[in-house]
Amino acid sequence: MEKIFAGKRGGAVFSCPVCGFTKTFDASIYRNKDSRITIKCQCGQQIPVLIEFREHYRKQVNLLGECFLHRTNSILHIRIHDLSLNGLSFSLLRNTSEENSSFQPNDQIALQFYLDNASQDMIERNAIIKNINGAVVGVSFIRAEYDKALGFYLMR
């Protein structure tokens, strides 16, 4: 199923995976409903899509980094799975139950990682753990100030 990302105001862009036709539409009517719909493209194809409402686009990545957990004063090596201007999700490289259970919602952490762009920009952020889903930890940056390097990276 294709994913379409809708912004705060509900604006979304559909791009047909068959013919490449692109159309902007208002997805706000699906905000509080089941957002799995089928879009019929002008080429005749019917494409099932899932509309996700997010403040910022979340890019799928495969980056390595470090996480400093303030509560336990421990440094852990992580793999980042997705990234946006205001947060990310990661899992531990060595996933032992002891290390994974050391995370708790609302823990404050410091993150450091390098982007896989040409300039290998280093990103450092303080974050709060928002959720833990199995081995995957979701965090929100404490101060999501605009970072030019990160912004350009997410657009490419």
Q: What is the pLDDT of residue 100?
A: 54
CA trace torsion 76, 135, 127, 85 (10° rounding): 120
Q: Going from the first residue of the chain to its last (156 residues), give the mean pLDDT of each consecutive group of 10, the final group possibly shorter.
A: 81 88 90 87 94 79 96 93 93 66 89 95 95 91 80 83
Residue 114 and residue 136: Cα distance in Å, rounded?
19
Residue 84 and residue 79: Cα distance in Å, rounded?
15
Q: 90 and 101 in contact (C-beta within 8 Å)? A: no
Nearest to 88 by CA among 35, 130, 118: 130
| pTM score, whole prediction | 0.67
Phi, psi of 150 (to 5 degrees): -65, -40
Q: What is the pLDDT of residue 153?
A: 87
Give Cβ neighbours of residue 28 (< 8 Å, ≥ 6 apart): 6, 9, 10
Q: Could you tell me the domains of the chain?
A: 2-53 (no CATH), 59-155 (2.40.10.220)
